[in-house]
Structure 1
Amino acid sequence: MSKREKVPKEPRQRRVKTPESAFLNEWAKRQTKRYRLVQLLGIIFTVGLVAQAWSLANVFSDLVIDGAFSVSLLLIAFSALLIRALASFGRERLSAAASRSIRYTLRKKLLSHLTHLGPSRLKIDEDAALSTRVYEQVDALDDYFSRYKPQLFMVSLIPCVILLAVLPVSYIAFGVFMMTAPLVIIFMIFVGHKAAQANRRQFRVLAMLSNQFMDLSQGLAELKRLGRTGQAKQRLSDSASAYQRTTMGVLRLAFLSTATLELFASLSIAMIALYLGLGLLEQLPWDKGQAPVTLTQAFFLLLLAPEFYLPLRQLGNDYHAKQKAEAAATALLEIFNTPTQDAQTASKDDAIQSHLSIVKTQSTSLLTFQALSWQQAGRTRLAPISNHIREGERIWLSGESGVGKSSLLHLLLGFEKGYQGECFVYNEPFSILDIAQWRGRLAWLPQTPEWVNGSIRQNLLLGIQPPSGQEIQTALEKSQCADFIKALPAGLETKLTELGAGLSGGQMQRLSIARALLSNADVWLLDEPCSGLDEDTTNAVLETLNSVSKGKTLLVVSHDTHPISWADRHWNLTHGGLHEQSIQAIA
């Protein structure tokens, strides 16, 4: 079940720069050059529009009055039409390129941020919902950057130019334009806010549906065993129906907005046509016997009237794209606003003062903990630890659930902050450490190894420099993977799913060990590497770890039920702190 998204309070009629609009504007500024070219083409388009209307008005009036027309004016009209078509084509191509570039860069930045968050990403939402944000909600920004953003300039340019062209011709037509245009804009904003709320509901339901689908696919075998597939199917069907209802709600608002804007525009054009028709017939109630405009001017006004409302109607159609983009931006900002633990977590000055305030031993310890603990929201996440780990030492860390064994590993991975006490790496405070360089030395083996859809080879080489074939074979032999991989039909090219379908728990753990060997990491962090394995498989995996980890620095989290007799030291973590025990006594 995805976490409910906190919907910010919608601004009313006054203009308030929300974080979402600031976020969208910031990304739009990255394509300033393209958008300026779009604006230049928009100016050319507008000039061509007025020139076309003027030349066609003269052609039509000459045909009615004289029965002939000027070929040069007709050529001007066709040339203006061609210029408008080329300018419109160029605007669309440039706008689409700007949107594509923004979304590509944004998606890369999102993935990078989620990578640096590591396990902390689950504080935001589950992986399925996060993938929906990265793909679906980033693509939801397309219409904003490719249509709405360029149209904002056109909606201010074209009506203003037309008003300037109409003012010397007819004050009445100018007044009609001025009175009706604000009605279109006001209704567009009103419907747009309703569309924004509907889009936020739609995104929330889509995230929930994604999470449920992932949960169902991962637990399908267990559901079949328990005979609960019917309930799971009904739950998924209910979520799909909810998504369908929210989608139809968004579409209803979009169609309502379009229909109403078309109605306002049609009525306004009809008012202009009625005024001009009665004027040419000299039947205006306040000016009988006289025509307020000539036939050429009437044609000119009639040709410009639809063009005056067209950008407003297009903006109204695109306004729901803005609201959809702001709804998506809310979810994306939640990701970016979740801080990562990088080298810049604490300022240099504060870190140096903290460094100088603690008397450190001049030992050669790789890791030194001084009263290291972690309190979060009034809850103890990690009991106090004071000890050290020398380079090449293998430490077995045991303890009851909830004392912070896994939390300690997450701290050492650099994914958490806000801890108390100090942690040193070669006497350098962890808070000023180059996290990227430190992670380059680490191999992380979680309770459940994570895989991607791809071959075994691709999973082994993910994120590391491609080794030679001999190095891969050596790592497989050391981790005792060579035999079962050789027995697979496609060998190293055998496809894996995210759950490692087709492999046993022990085989997946051995592949994780092989991956750690190929990374050439000298510091290994292992979180319950034998969790869920039977006793024989556990003993085999631990024996493999013993043979391949000699010379490495290991911190292995494991329960007392599986003693690690080959470890150099045994730490027992309790709520009262860390205690060192004899391995022989437990074994």
Structure 2
Amino acid sequence: MSNKVQTTKSNNLLKNLQAQQRASFVAAFFAGTVITVTVIIQAALLATIISQLILAHHFAIHLVFWLMITLLVRAIAGFYKDKSCAQASTSIRSSLRRQLIEHLAMLGPARHIIDQDGGLSTTVYEQVDALDDYFSRYQIQAVMCLLIPVAILLAAAYISWFAFTVFALTAPMVIYFMILVGQKAAEANRRQFAVLALLSNQFVDLTRGLFQLRLLTREKKAEQRLTESAEAYQSTTMKVLGLAFLSTATLELFASVSIAIIAVILGLGLVKQVPGYQGQTFLDLHDSLFMLLLAPEYYLPLRQLGGDYHAKQKALAAAEKILEILSINIVHPMTDNQQPLQQANPDIVFSKVSWIIDDRYLLNDINLSIHVAERLWLSGESGAGKSSLLNLLLGFHLDYQGHIQIGGIELKQLDLASWRSQLAWIPQTPEWVSGTLAQNLILGLGAVNDTQVAQALRQAEAAEFIKALPLGLDTPVSELGSGLSGGQLQRLSIARAILSDAPIWLLDEPAAHLDPETAQALYQTLEKVTQGKTTLLISHDTHPVAWCDRALSIHQGALHPFKQEEISDES
């Protein structure tokens, strides 16, 4: 995709986000209009007071009073303008972050098509926050760059053709250099975000594989790679800052030179030494002071916009990464009228289901019926289609051919929330959040009391090792489940599934990373807790457990029956 197309899509996203807080931005625009009026009035009052003091050696005290009122109104309007934009930015970012998290949750395993979890977390947090300056400062500053300079140009056109000419000629040059440097800043921001995502992914991978790296004595190599990525991020960050300082310095130079030219000419005019006007008054003292006071105000919004312009380029670069997530379709096709699942513990029927991606059959003509309370074993090698079947069943992909009926309702027409509330999913590697064991057990389950937790732990045969922990259920656990063995973590996953009271259990190779003895003990526990549950257990193992009612194998996306002699009584 070309940069022009990407920029257009990013701009559209930013406009749509801004439209969500239209009222706040309208309020900020109104405050900006008030500031514009006070700028002109303030300069006129100051010019009158100073000229009267110099020429008549006195001034009207009421002018000072009105000047104080003007300054107060300007300060209040400025505070209200900044507050409105800051609140709008906070609301936009909060809503966008929630939308991204929900979108990624709905994508499920398909999120790895976009990036690894480290890079995705960088987008959700760092790059959403990168929009803050754009909404809280840049947007209203772009408006102020229109209001104040236009008002001052009109005043200058009425009073001094010279000041008007200087203002009119220098403003486009300031804007040109601002855009020129800003484009370079956009490219630098894109590189910075890419390096940050790489650094995040490497850090997550290093954390997850630290134990294996130590066993292989490769931790120094991994540390060196992480250091190189950190240094690359430092380098790209300094380039972004350098371009921001260059933009500010360029605008300051043009503004300072322009103000100096106006000040010199107006000063010469007061002593009647302007070329072509020798011996004549170019502008009187009041008008000269008025123009001189307005000159800094004319360039101030442009200078501030130049300082904030890199915020726009940073926001555009961040929006590109955000669009990478939002542009991935969650489910398709999807009907408009979704039906809630009325039946608890329904039958599941696959009829001639195929799933094709890039001309490759992930699933090929699947016909399968899973009855209520039936426990089914499904084995197959990596890439055979086991996880693809689970992904369809979980509703992460609905672009399949054929029919999947849940309790007689087509999955594409089913309200996914009501369907997923019936499911308990135990993956190969359980996912945890940073918190206590108790918090992880009841996360997302609503009201769960201590008695229910204790009973679930006993059924999962996890109560004994929990009691052995110094803090018990208050033991902190990281996202990687540090401090607990693989078998213990899986038993906690079983306890969490029990607490969900879901009638359908989907087990994705629950014993894949366990030693044979621990795996056998885990399967014995699963035999007890899945009684009466509709259970689909997938595994690489070609020896089904005896307590499963039926065993099937899958190969190249197609289902095959197990031969009787392949079924073992071993657990």
- TM-score, normalisation: structure 2: 0.95
**Structure 1 counterpart of 2:333, one-letter code:** T
Distance 2:368 2:88 in 1: 54
Query: Do the aligned partners of 1:365 and 1:388 also contact (CA within 8 Å) in 2?
Result: no
**Letter matched to residue 514 of structure 2:** L
- Give distance in 1, aligned partners of 2:460 and 2:449: 17
- 2:393 maps to 412
1:467 aligns with 2:455: no
State the 1:275 CA deviation. 1.6
1:175-208, Cα deviation, whole Å (9 max, x unpaired): 1111111111111111111111100100000011
Out of 78, 81, 84, the position equivalent to 1:88 is 78
C-alpha distance after superposition, 1:480-521 (max 9, x if no partner): 111111111111111111121111111111111111110011
- Secondary structure of residue in 1 paired with 2:21: helix
Partner of 2:168: 178
Does the alignment pair 1:9 with 2:12?
no
Change beyond 3 A, Cα 1:575–1:82: closer
Matches within 5 A, 1:310-349: 310-341=300-331, 345-347=333-335
Q: Is the contact between residue 544 and residue 551 of structure 2 (CA under 8 Å) also seen in structure 1?
A: no
Aligned to 1:491: 472
Give the match's secondary structure for 1:18: helix
Give distance in 2, aligned partners of 1:287 and 1:21.
Answer: 50
1:524 maps to what in 2? 505
Residue 215 of structure 1: which of 205, 208, 212 is its match?
Answer: 205
Q: CA RMSD in A?
A: 1.9
Give the secondary structure class of the aligned counterpart of 2:514: coil
Counterpart secondary structure, 1:345:
coil
The aligned residue for residue 65 of structure 2 is 75
The answer to whether the Cα contact below 8 Å between 1:10 and 1:193 also exists between their aligned partners in 2 is: no
Gaps of 5+ in 2: 340-344
Residue among 261, 276, 287 paired with 2:277? 287
Determine the structure 2 residue equivalent to 1:133.
123
Conserved in 1, the CA contact under 8 Å of 2:382 and 2:540? no
Counterpart of 1:315 in 2: which secondary structure? helix
SS at match of 1:168: helix
Deviates more, 1:572-581 or 1:391-400: 572-581
Cα 1:267/1:576, change in 2 over 3 Å: closer
Residue type of the alignment partner of 1:313? R
Does the 8 A contact of 1:383 with 1:573 survive in 2? no
Post-superposition CA distance 1:386-418 (Å, at most 9, x none): 121111110011123221011111110111232
Structure 1 CA distance for aligned equivalents of residues 520 and 459 of structure 2 = 16
CA distance in 2, matches of 1:293, 1:244: 54
Aligned to 1:356: none
- CA distance in 2 between counterparts of 1:271 and 1:103 reads 44
Asked if the contact 2:362/2:556 (under 8 Å) is kept, the reply is no
When residues 348 and 307 of structure 1 are mapped into structure 2, their CA distance, relative to the original with a 3 A threshold, is closer
1: distance between equivalents of 2:126 and 2:400?
35
Is the 8 Å Cα contact of residues 570 and 582 (structure 1) preserved in structure 2?
no
Which letter does structure 2 place at the counterpart of 1:371? K
Q: 2: CA distance between counterparts of 1:575 and 1:127?
A: 28
Question: 5+ unaligned residues in a row in structure 1: which ranges?
Answer: 1-5, 353-363
Percent of aligned positions that are identical: 51
- Alignment partner of 1:142 is 2:132: yes
Q: What do residues 44-71 of structure 1 show as CA deviations (whole Å, max 9, x unaligned)?
A: 1121111111111111112221222221
Counting only pairs closer than 5 Å after superposition, residues 255-294 of structure 1 correspond to structure 2 as 255-294=245-284
Partners of 1:120 and 1:252 in 2: how far apart? 38
2: CA distance, partners of 1:516 / 1:298: 80
Q: Greater CA deviation, 202-211 or 82-91?
A: 82-91
| TM-superposed deviation, 1:25 | 1.2
Report which stretch shifted further, 140-149 or 80-89.
80-89
Runs of 4+ in 1 over 6 A off after TM superposition: none
Give 2:437's aligned amino acid: I
Query: CA contact under 8 A between 1:565 and 1:584: conserved in structure 2?
Result: no
Relative to structure 1, the CA distance from residue 586 to residue 579 in structure 2 (aligned partners, 3 Å threshold; closer, same or farther) is same
Q: Is the 8 A contact 1:570 1:583 kept in 2?
A: no
**Equivalent residue number for residue 342 of structure 2:** none
Deviates most, 67-76 or 132-141:
67-76
Task: Specify whether residues 195 and 168 from structure 1 end up closer, same or farther in structure 2 by C-alpha distance, changes over 3 A only.
Answer: same
- Of 132, 157, 160, the match for 2:147: 157
Residue 482 (structure 1) aligned to one of 456, 463, 467: 463
- For residues 43 and 434 of structure 2, what CA distance do their matches in structure 1 show? 59
Output the amino acid matched with 2:524.
E
> Distance between the aligned counterparts of 1:202 and 1:381, measured in 2?
36
Tell me the secondary structure at the aligned position of residue 565 of structure 1: coil
Aligned partners of 2:352 and 2:403 also within 8 Å: yes
Q: 1:395–1:556: 8 Å Cα contact kept in structure 2?
A: yes
Letter in 2 for 1:510: R
Secondary structure, in 3 states, of the residue corresponding to 2:87? helix
Q: Note if contact 1:383-1:574 (Cα within 8 Å) is conserved in structure 2.
A: no
